Chains A and B, each alone.
Chain A
Amino acid sequence: MHGKGTEWKKDNASTLKELLGKWLCLLYCIVYAGFILVNVVSPKFMGIDFGSLNVAIVYGFGLIIFAIILAFIYNHVSTHAEEILNDNESEEEVAE
């Protein structure tokens, strides 16, 4: 017996979404790894003033806001891709 209980309609946008997801994830990983690296290699840099705040707080807030922005970009592109690529599809089901 298999756990999989639902058969979904074929998603022609899945390759594009997967590719986009991988690249955006990689991009975020690089920015996140940069944060860890700066903390370990040059902790003093984190304490430098950045207006009223400092680099640590700006980078930290930046990582949170960057994640939200990437999420919206991903959803926007994915939704459009699904609309365009799945628009005229028949009710074909994936044979898995």
Chain B
Amino acid sequence: MNYVPSPWAIILFTMFVASVLGISYHFARKTKSSKNYFAAGGNIHWSVNGIAFAGDYLSAASFLGICGMIAISGFDGFLYSIGYLAGWIVALFVVAEPMKRLGKYTFTDALDAKFNSKGIQLASAISTLLVSIFYLIPQMVGAGTLVTPLLGLPHEAGVILVGVIVMVIVATAGMTSTTYVQFLKGGLLIVFSIVLVMLILSRGISTAPDHGGDKAYHIFKTIGITSYEEDLISIADDSYTVDKVITNIDKKYHFVRLKKNGKASIWKINRKKMELEETLYTQILPNGNTLYNGGTKDDSLFYQVGHMSELDGKAENKTGTLSAFSFIEKIKNGVVLRWSKVNFTENGSKYTVYYQNPTPGKEVLKPGLKFKVDPEKGASPLQRLDFVSLMIALFCGTAALPHILIRYYTVPSPACARKSTIVAIAAIGLFYILTLYIGLGAMVNGVIDISNNNMSAPLLAKSFGVTIFAIISALAFATVLGTVSGLIVAASGAVAHDLMDRFLGMKLTDNNKVKAGKIAAIGVGVVAIILGILFKGMNVSYLVGWAFAVAASANLPAIIMILFWKKTTAKGVFSSIIVGLVVSLGMILLSQETFVNVYKIYGVKAPVQINNPAIISVPLSFLTLFVVSLFTQNKSQELSGNVGEGSSL
């Protein structure tokens, strides 16, 4: 899509970023000690910390990713909202208070509090680094996604912009500024999401959504087929010439390329109706340039999509203002024109063709469009297992995310840790209910950029006017800034405190530890920038699902077993973290989804056929801890024994 920046949006956005930097500078002057840098001095009020938790958690994945996925896949995107929130139950009931009691600055402190094991220090620091980086990727992708429509800059510029601003924030002020940025952003995001949902309901639904009269909806054409046999096709419209019929070996898709005035277009062959249906397509040329519907971005041939093709039984219809219930009911009883996609390679060019897929509203509002769960609709046992695996990862991952865990050290007491978690659950729960309306709103309001569904929520806001768009985008950008800051603080803590100070025994002075943390923050920031550019275009919530799987596999078994199984040993914890990390990362890197969306290898069967590893890696990590602990029992390593005696691996 070609995005034209608005001056008002740029002004609002700049003001927002300036105030974030202002907060950072203000707190920088107060940050002298490592306790201030890594844990905000441990004196943040629980209510502020609770909203900051929400700010941390409502990252690009929640606002951009979930809304984008709901806009494309309906209820399946909402599964992320359900799973993300459910994970907080584990955090509150099992982890919050004990983690606060055991730790000081980092998650490693808590794991290692009763062992003083070099192995645990190393393994959990590596795990913190890897999970943080995995979580950073979608945030950076989200940043790149946001600046394109907002400032008219390319994806890469957005990623670099966020990287640099965050490095400035983190390298100056640490956890205190991160906390207040997250508090402000978390609160404002919820307020403006409520405003956006009210605007969606007040506009109602139309079969030809025109952005409140601002922009005519592109009506997708059809052309009659007069004859069609094998690779020969003739059509009813003489202004087009047939260039080539495109099918794959197993005849799963049938398209035809037509030409008109020298410009190519791709059409889907609908054999039932004997019609050609207009598609949208991107073509990555061998030289790396991308064409959109055969033209460059500036040609604006790639239309925004998303509408209902049948509303109250009519192909052309419009409703008035709707309630929270009737809005869903109208979608449920109608037909939504969704877009499916096919990837193929031809003459060195990589094509992605998006074709129309009218879907009954009843199907949109139940699981099954993205995650295949219904065997009657061809879901294989493996696909159903994949769904279960994702839901396990979301449930188990929250309580094991390093940037969430370190927030327990910013409050004064275990009771405050608990109370701030409850504020977080209430705020996040409210926001997640709103995501369903924002996502469905994008689905039927003709705002989706089908080549990058992450932009659905901000583009929906844009259809209501540039002010709300600028505010929402600036908030989303601040979301990325805040979350990236938190992640980088967590990662830099792992390097400076866990690795350098404790594992390597460098005995850093307080000042040097802060310095080392800041240098580490810059290093992690650079890595995040590079990965954010490489992963462009992937759904950010999907990427976060992977981060959850890695965190749930590497960290959660160790946390739970240390808290609840007295025979846990240092070697057991070390082994479980390593097994969880290696198995989950290995499975992700060898999965089909990674082959297609990351490596861009089409038509090759990946070695691992499930896309989310949690169902295998989490139990395996638990089992490893259990077995290794049983085989390495000795008095000094038992939790119930003499805490503090050397048990180094």
Contact = CB atoms under 8 A, between A and B. Distances in A.
A72 B332 CA distance: 33
Contacts of B329: 52-53
B284 interface: no
B362 interface: yes
B103 interface: yes
A9 B425 CA distance: 27
B197 to A, nearest CB: 14
A11 B100 CA distance: 13
Interface in B71-122: 75, 78-79, 81-82, 85-86, 88-90, 92-94, 97, 101-106, 108-110, 112-113, 116
Given A21-B93, A67-B425, A46 B366 contact: yes
B302 interface: no
B328 interface: yes
A71 B421 contact: yes
B236 interface: no
Given A64-B85, A67-B88, A96-B643, A53 B328 contact: yes
A64 B432 contact: yes
Given A8-B101, A56-B365, A74-B93, A64 B433 contact: yes
B154 interface: no
Interface in A46-83: 46-47, 49, 51-57, 60-61, 63-65, 67-68, 70-72, 74-75, 78-79, 82
Contacts of A1: 116, 502
Given A22-B93, A53-B328, A54-B362, A71 B502 contact: no
B104 A32 contact: no
B328 A40 contact: no
Contacts of B415: 78-79, 82
B426 interface: yes
B109 A51 contact: no
Contacts of B365: 47, 53-54, 56-57
Contacts of A44: 374
A40 B88 contact: no
B644 interface: yes
Contacts of B103: 3-4
Given A52-B325, A64-B433, A39 B104 contact: no
Given A64-B429, A74-B92, A47 B362 contact: yes
Interface string B606-649: 00000000000000000000000000000000000001100000
The bracket for how many chain A residues form the interface is 35 or more
Nearest to A56: B366
Nearest to B39: A5
Interface in B258-309: none
Contacts of A24: 89, 93
A68 B332 contact: no
Given A4-B109, A35-B82, A40 B373 contact: yes
Interface in B223-271: none
B460 to A, nearest CB: 20
B163 interface: no
Nearest to B111: A3
B86 A67 contact: yes
B367 A46 contact: yes
A52 B323 CA distance: 11
B93 A3 contact: no
B426 A14 contact: no
Contacts of A88: none
A17 B96 CA distance: 11
Nearest to A68: B429
A68 B104 CA distance: 28
9 contacts: A3-B502, A4-B102, A32-B395, A36-B387, A47-B363, A52-B328, A54-B332, A75-B422, A96-B643
